[in-house]
Chain A
Amino acid sequence: MRYAMAVDSKKCVGCSDCVVACQTENNVPIGFARDWVREINHGIYPELHTELRSERCNHCDNAPCVRSCPTGASHYAEGGIVKVTKEKCIGCSACIISCPYDARYIHPQGYVDKCTFCDHRVKDGEDPACVAVCPTKCLYFGDLDDPNSEMSTLLRVRKYKTLIPEAGTDPQLYILV
């Protein structure tokens, strides 16, 4: 099992539905977010290009946050999902500093919080909340170990990139371009 997510930047309109759906699904306090939307513009009027994409934890195969955690709170869970055991977290922020994607925040209750790929939904066969809500269906979630999954197929047929590959984290969030 190797869970991964893909974002089709050709379809994403940057509406941030993924952000608010995650907040209400996971009780993320207002003012914080586990996912966010980025807009990248290139060119000079009128030769322009705009890329919109929904971002979150990359659930890296080689995750610096897991390595830097002094208590073992940050860990790899089933399917490669990077998680935080909040009871073990001391809120030291080492993981936040080590994450090249700025994917973590300190919850007002003092522990570090982040995207879980909604593993509580995934275990019931549902998609993560952001994927399930997206009006443009630009978000995909699935198992890369299954060669017949939609995720595996997409990465075979579509051009894609990963974010900050030079950080060597082996990220599992794929941007379809």
Chain B
Amino acid sequence: MVKSRRDFIKISALSSAGLFVGNQVVKATSSVANSPKQDSDYKLPSELKRTPTYCEVCFWKCAGWVHKDEDGQIKKITGNDLDLNSNGRFCPRGTGGVGMYYDEDRLKYPLIRTEERGKQTFRRASWDEAFQYIADKMAKIKEEHGPEATALFTHGSGGKYFTNLIKGFGSANIAAPSYAQCRGPREVAFIATFGQGVNSPENTDIRDTRCLVLIGSHIGENMHNGHVQEMSDAIDKGATIITVDPRFSTAASKSKYWLPIKPATDIALLLAWIHVIINEELYDKKYIEQYAYGFDQLKAHVQNMTPEWAYGITTIKPDVIRETAREMAKAAPATIVHPGRHVTWYGDDTQRLRAVAILNALLGSWGRRGGFYMPDKVSVPHAKLPPFPKPEFTWRDAMGGKYQLADLALANGMCDATIPTSAMSRSIKGWIVNGTNLIETLPDRKKTLAAIQNLDLLVVVDTMPMEITGWADVVLPECTYLERYDSIRDSQHREPTIALRMPAAKPKYESRSAWWMAKNLSKYMGLEQYFPFDSIEEELDHELKQMGTSLAEMQQVGVKKWKRAYDDIYYKDGESVEFPTNTGKIELYSTSLAEGGFDPMPTYTAHPEPPQGYYRLIYGRAPMHTFTRTANNPNLTDLMSENAVWVNPKVAREWDLKNGQEVYLQNQDNVVSSFPVKIRVTERIRWDSVYIVHGFGHANKQLSRAYGRGASDAELITNVMVDPIMGGTGMRGNFVTFRFTKGEEA
């Protein structure tokens, strides 16, 4: 079938029209006759001076309060003192979350792709039309390719409702880029070692640690709220911080030891540390003897991996490697070798995180105060739904038997499963994308766009006109987290807690919540049985009552905490523990990796180095932004409106670069950044690397504050080093050089 190519559409013409169509909005909403209760019909308890929420600006989901001014306008957001994730203190993004609500560039009403005089454009649609369009297309895909040929990409709280919708439809293709593009290797490595992942918020007992080791993890720039707070507590208590980073990060500036490692050599350093700790007998002998499997194999394995060997690879001096290993051991078991969060770097990431897990095991820190605590959580009792149809095909079938150890779906794998090949009998034809800007989130943009061109239907649900919306057939405007209820937050922590999010204001424009969209779509798709409640308030109250509370109580308190059922936050001395691994022990030698045909113990492999005149592209976070999500937030762009490329003064001299000068970056595959980026000459970066903050360089003009500001690292990440164990996409193997004009793209 010859299909017309999908063009990127800018939402511009319509957005401006939206400013003076107040009356039409009312008409359009009231025409949805048989719909369940509108989000805008929510009773907003006016007697509440503040309404509870949990934050949606990042995945930490801090619980807090939304305060209104005398006119009833949202004024500020503060933390909830009962909340363990925030301890009553929001981070800049949470405090600046008000900007998401007030952002005038928000998506305002449903849009459907149409063609006018040979040019693709969006037309404004009613919700009824949008739902009907989606339902018809989904039915057609089901008829032609089966319900399995659909997929959901999701990040954030609303995902749960679309998950039920697509499962009910008959597909199990549900992925979040937070796995294979971020923390996946860490989970697989810790599960292989301890039988348990670290999850979120990570169970690191930073508050009570005496030695915190950060490897490429830049706490303080990544604003993982609880961890930033606890690192500060640890500094107050005099803990030693050891930071391994090619960049003098904020955390490095707080550290007793900064190890400015040559990038891509971390595994060599970790193995040398393991070597020192074993050979100097600094490990926790009792703990290892009682809990660990494979110590002798590990000892033999690391015998040649001396600090002198690692020095030649990492550029870290042998005496520094020894001294830092001894510091860790001195503080053990109150030592944390932090697993990090965004760990998809070089494709051998699961093995690097295995080395991290092994090091923690040797120090006896897993399950110990100041190391890793054992988290607890409550489970929210969801209503029992009819069984979901069993899919005959999933994205895994497109992987040729690879990545069996991935415990969650791979977003990039779903892209692969969307591009037909001769080896695949079926491919995915319809995507629903909820709250994730895949264009900037997935590496290898060419592949993402190729996958999109193979779709019969692309539905994008978002609050903002992110780049992905330009490729959609249907755009559904979601209201912000300040305008909606959502599922109960039940994240793990030292004590089980739940948190409520409720609307502080009615949804602006025609935006609606994910719950309302999924509920309505279910009617058009004949899937009502998976949405048994008439309103989300009813659903939440039903769940909360079973937990011994109620929606009314949660509206008053926001957060509810339970005592742990058992006194088991740390292992007791000599306590017998059955680890959920093959051997029931902490596996220094991984039997599951061995079974899968992988190295049972980590080894160092050299990775390609930048060619002459090129520099390794390192990217990271700024405390006032979350990925691309906040790049247009008026309050947060006021704090940081663009990124800059950090270059060492030596590099600057060589290229005659000045602070503030604008350059284009060009990568090893001749991809040139769409926009210029300013130079920041700083001693805080090695001369073989450059650094930019992720999330800038937006190409959609409708993001009026973000458009063209800085460079997008995602655009320059065309070399993807895939982790053979779990399919994670290693993104640190890209090299860039400077260009003074944009020129022709190769």
Contact = CB atoms under 8 A, between A and B. Distances in A.
Contacts of B623: 13-17
Interface in A56-111: none
Interface of B: 75-79, 89-92, 95-96, 98, 220-221, 223, 225, 228-229, 231-233, 235-236, 248, 250, 252-254, 258, 260, 623-624, 634-636, 638-640, 648, 682-687
Contact of B683 (A14, A48, A132, A135): A48
Interface string A103-142: 0000000000000000000000000000011111110000
Interface string A44-55: 111011111000
Contacts, number: 116
B232 A136 contact: yes
A44 B648 CA distance: 10
Nearest to A16: B639
13 contacts: A13-B228, A13-B250, A13-B254, A15-B623, A16-B92, A16-B624, A41-B682, A41-B683, A48-B252, A48-B684, A133-B78, A135-B225, A136-B229
Contact of B89 (A10, A44, A133): A133
Nearest to B251: A13
Contact of A19 (B91, B634, B639): B639
Nearest to B89: A135
A11 B258 CA distance: 17
B91 A135 contact: yes
B221 to A, nearest CB: 7
Contacts of A135: 89-91, 223, 225, 228-229, 232
A7 interface: no
A21 interface: yes
Contacts of B228: 13, 15, 135-136
Given A13-B228, A20-B636, A41-B683, 13 more contacts: A11-B236, A13-B254, A15-B220, A15-B223, A16-B640, A21-B92, A41-B684, A46-B260, A48-B258, A52-B250, A133-B89, A135-B228, A136-B232
Contacts of A165: none
Contacts of A19: 92, 639
Given A15-B623, A24-B635, A25-B76, A10 B254 contact: yes
Nearest to B221: A13
Interface residues of A, number: 32
Contacts of B682: 41
B77 A24 contact: yes
A158 to B, nearest CB: 11
A49 B255 CA distance: 10
Contacts of A136: 220, 228-229, 231-232
Interface of A: 10-11, 13-17, 19-21, 23-25, 30-31, 41, 43-46, 48-52, 132-138
B260 A45 contact: yes
Pick from B75, B76, B221, B228 the residue with the most CB of A within 10 Å: B76
A39 B684 CA distance: 12
A46 B92 contact: no
Given A44-B683, A50-B684, A21 B95 contact: yes
A45 B684 CA distance: 7
A46 B248 contact: yes
A143 to B, nearest CB: 22
B654 to A, nearest CB: 15
Given A16-B624, A20-B96, A24-B77, A49 B91 contact: no
Contacts of A46: 248, 258, 260
A131 to B, nearest CB: 10
A46 B261 CA distance: 11
Contacts of A51: 253
Contacts of B639: 16, 19-20
A48 B253 contact: yes
Which 6 residue pairs are nearest across A and B when measured between Cβ atoms? A13-B220, A15-B623, A136-B232, A50-B253, A24-B76, A17-B92
B250 A50 contact: yes
Contact of A15 (B92, B233, B236, B254): B92
Contacts of B220: 13-15, 136
A136 B623 CA distance: 12
A140 B236 CA distance: 14
B683 A20 contact: no
Contact of A137 (B96, B229, B636): B229
Identify which of A15, A41, A49, A137 gathers the most chain B CB atoms within 10 Å of its CB: A15
A103 B434 CA distance: 43
B77 A137 contact: no
A59 B283 CA distance: 53
A153 to B, nearest CB: 14
B265 to A, nearest CB: 16
A49 B253 contact: yes
Contacts of A43: 683
Contacts of A31: 638
Given A17-B92, A24-B77, A52 B225 contact: no
Contacts of A133: 78-79, 89-90, 95
A15 to B, nearest CB: 4
Contact of A11 (B232, B624, B648): B232
B709 to A, nearest CB: 15
Which among B79, B233, B254, B260 has the highest number of chain A CB atoms within 10 Å?
B254
A11 B236 CA distance: 8
Given A17-B95, A23-B635, A48-B253, A137 B624 contact: no
A41 B247 CA distance: 13
Nearest to B79: A133
B690 to A, nearest CB: 14
A48 B682 CA distance: 11
A45 B652 CA distance: 14
A43 B253 CA distance: 12
Contacts of B89: 132-135, 137
Nearest to B74: A24
B437 to A, nearest CB: 23
A86 B20 CA distance: 36
A25 B96 CA distance: 11
Contacts of B634: 30
B648 A45 contact: yes
Contacts of B260: 45-46
A157 to B, nearest CB: 12
B83 to A, nearest CB: 13
B594 to A, nearest CB: 39
Nearest to B253: A50
Nearest to B98: A24
A145 B635 CA distance: 37
A137 B223 CA distance: 14
A11 B76 CA distance: 25
Nearest to B622: A15
Nearest to B231: A136
B69 to A, nearest CB: 8
A144 to B, nearest CB: 21
A12 B686 CA distance: 24
Contacts of B232: 11, 13, 135-138
B519 to A, nearest CB: 33
Contacts of B684: 41, 45, 48, 50
